[in-house]
Structure 1
Amino acid sequence: MADASPRTDTSTDDTDEKNQRFGRGQMNAIVASDSSDRSKDKTDQKTLRRLAQNREAARKSRLRKKAYVQQLESSRLKLTQLEQELQRARQQGIFISSSGDQSHSMSGNGALAFDVEYARWLEEHNRKINELRTAVNSHAGDAELRIIVDSVTTHFDDIFRLKGTAAKADVFHILSGMWKTPAERCFLWIGGFRSSELLKLLANQLEPLTEQQFMGIQKLQQSSQQAEDSLSQGMEALQQSLAETLANGSPSAPSGSSGNVANYMGQMAMAMRKLGTLEGFLLQADNLRQQTLQQMHRILTTRQSARALLAINDYFSRLRALSSLWLARPRE
């Protein structure tokens, strides 16, 4: 019995130690399980946040697409309305199309009529450009390519004739560029593009050029710049002169008196004469643009001219697309 008691104590101690180790093992397992659960929860939360962000981005994308489609539909409806109004105006003998007698001027609906004619011109222009692009990509022969290039170049002449006719009815509408998109109006100069700036943009698109071609393009760009500076100075002088004419009234005469009325009428008549020169500035600017395109066509080869016309079209197409994207942007 004396020998059995110590062994029993030792066995009890061993059992207690085993129980403690088992308890620590269970605790460690619980802690590890909790850590794993927390890590899993964090991963799940990140996944949920990412899914929520993706859903929100997709929702905004759908809204932008919907707004863009609505803007395009609105533009289509507006064009349809303009065409209907133009048809009614033609039935009343108000507007004579550019394909008819150019000597007939447009009346009060001149701006509206021009907008519709310009939309039609642009649609035909895009058709010709697509034909040109197809010919270039398919490596068409020079003879076939020249026919298409000449057709596109001649089509530019049509818009200059349209603008000249419209300016007789409403020169302010043409000069303001309201017939163009907002982004295009940012770069407007006297009712159109700056020839010198366009030549700068084309310089990298036309390489490689021969030395003679390079000198010809450079000389054309410089002469265009000089002509533009001269016209810009003329416009500034006209604006200053017109402002001085309108400001030089005679406030000393009694209101409604014959002297005051006569002075006012004389003042406005002088302002009207000066304002009449605006049409001349627009015609000179368009003539410069037309001559620049024609001279560029003579300097370049047929295939280079085709690339230049495509580059010009792509530039203005991007400006129009930029306007559409800007107008359809989400407003939070």
Structure 2
Amino acid sequence: MADTSPRTDTSTDVDHDDKNQRHMFLVCSSIQALPVAVVPSDSSDRSKEKTGDQKTLSRLAQNREAARKSRLRKKAYVQQLESSRLKLTQLEQELQRARQQGIFISSSGDQTHSMSGNGALTFDIEYTRWLEDHNRQINELRSAVNSHASDNDLRAIVDGIMAHYDDIFKLKSAAAKADVFHLLSGMWKTPAERCFLWLGGFRSSELLKLLSRQLEPLTEQQLVGICNLQQSSQQAEDALSQGMEALQQSLAETLAGSLGPSGSSGNVANYMGQMAMAMGKLGTLENFIRQADNLRQQTLQQMHQILTTRQFARALLAVNDYFSRLRALSSLWLAWPKE
């Protein structure tokens, strides 16, 4: 009995262990048969977060760089506008000084500007000098008339003034070749003078109307001569005005012919052809200016022939006084307080 009892207990324990081992085997097999879920590790998450942060930082850096460049471009554009404004202001100031003094000095005061490349500015300066010389000659003529100088003395002064008028017509002819629009605009004249401007100057017929009342008494022959001169001047002015209107209409039609149905430019060949025709028509403007100045010059010469030397001297003084008053009126208007 003592021998068999321990063996029986051992057998029972072995069977129990076997059962446990088989159970554990089945459990392990079941676990191995289950699908395995892949769970990302913490290092992978950190790697992806790091990559995302780098892309965000890169985009932010690109945005900052683009904003910086945009600010630089805007700053450069504003500086360019300010520089252009300052240059324009300086140019206006220098032009004003040129008109007042007859010279054109740079704002730095160390060198004079070259006028060869700017026909309009060159003419303005030359006209200012011409006007100063003209005023000096007129003052000399006024003194001679008031002092009752001899006809020979008056004739010498009058001839000098007529030669001086020839100079301004030559200057205007050269200016028309350089910039005909500047002469037509009358920007070289004062505002009140521009109000009566006709093809770059005064109307001879209107000037004769003003002078006829200042030159009395006139002989019958002189009255007839002045009346005929006024009529011929009026007819010539009307013809030039009609020609100018025809040119403007023709030019407008030429430019309109290069437009498409929608108002946009047509094909390139047609557009360039129309613009070439328009440029050719603009070239005739110079001829209109020259004819108008020739009419003014001939009017002065014929007045010189019709009137006596003393009468013509009085006529020159009256013409000068008229334009002087227009310039004075312009100065008063510009100085008048605007509210």
- Would the TM-score normalized by the shorter structure come out above 0.5? yes
Task: Verify the 8 A CA contact 1:254 1:260 in the aligned structure 2.
Answer: no
Alpha-carbon distance between aligned partners in 1 of 2:99 and 2:317, rounded to the nearest angstrom: 28
Task: Verify the 8 A CA contact 1:79 1:116 in the aligned structure 2.
Answer: no
- Residues 1:212 and 1:179: Cα distance change in structure 2 (over 3 Å): same
1:276: which partner in 2? 283
Aligned AA (1:315): Y
User: How far did residue 82 of structure 1 move?
Assistant: 6.0
Alignment of 1:186 with 2:207, yes or no, is: no
Q: Secondary structure at the match of 2:197?
A: coil
Alignment of 1:250-329 (within 5 A): 250-251=259-260, 260-329=267-336
Gaps of 5+ in 1: 1-71, 95-106
Deviations 1:41-92 (A, max 9, x none): xxxxxxxxxxxxxxxxxxxxxxxxxxxxxxx9994476569612694215xx
Q: Secondary structure at the match of 2:114?
A: helix
Alpha-carbon distance between aligned partners in 1 of 2:330 and 2:97, rounded to the nearest angstrom: 16
2:141: which partner in 1? 132
Alignment of 1:195 with 2:242, yes or no, is: no
Match of 1:147 among 135, 156, 159: 156
Q: Secondary structure at the match of 1:118?
A: helix
Q: Report the identity percentage.
A: 74
Match of 1:220 among 211, 218, 229: 229
Gaps of 5+ in 2: 1-92
Q: Secondary structure at the match of 2:338?
A: coil
Deviations 1:274-325 (A, max 9, x none): 0000000000000000000000000000000000000000000000000000
Q: Give the number of the structure with larger relative contact order, counting CA–CA contacts within 8 Å between residues 6 or more apart.
A: 1
- Residues 1:160 and 1:74: Cα distance change in structure 2 (over 3 Å): closer
Task: Verify the 8 A CA contact 1:167 1:174 in the aligned structure 2.
Answer: yes
User: How far did residue 251 of structure 1 move?
Assistant: 1.6
Larger Rg: 2
Q: Following TM superposition, where does structure 1 have runs of at least 4 consecutive aligned residues deviating by more than 6 angstroms?
A: 253-256
Q: Secondary structure at the match of 2:301?
A: helix
- Residues 1:73 and 1:246: Cα distance change in structure 2 (over 3 Å): closer
Q: Secondary structure at the match of 2:104?
A: helix
Task: Verify the 8 A CA contact 1:250 1:260 in the aligned structure 2.
Answer: no
Deviations 1:221-267 (A, max 9, x none): 000000000000000000000000001124259989xx711111001
* Number of aligned residue pairs: 243
Alignment of 1:89 with 2:96, yes or no, is: no
- Residues 1:291 and 1:180: Cα distance change in structure 2 (over 3 Å): same
Alpha-carbon distance between aligned partners in 1 of 2:99 and 2:213, rounded to the nearest angstrom: 38
Task: Verify the 8 A CA contact 1:202 1:308 in the aligned structure 2.
Answer: yes
Supply the RMSD in Å over aligned alpha carbons: 2.4
Aligned AA (1:298): Q
- Residues 1:296 and 1:81: Cα distance change in structure 2 (over 3 Å): closer
Aligned AA (2:105): Q
2:17: which partner in 1? none
Aligned AA (2:331): S
Aligned AA (1:217): I
- Residues 1:192 and 1:254: Cα distance change in structure 2 (over 3 Å): closer
Q: Secondary structure at the match of 2:314?
A: helix
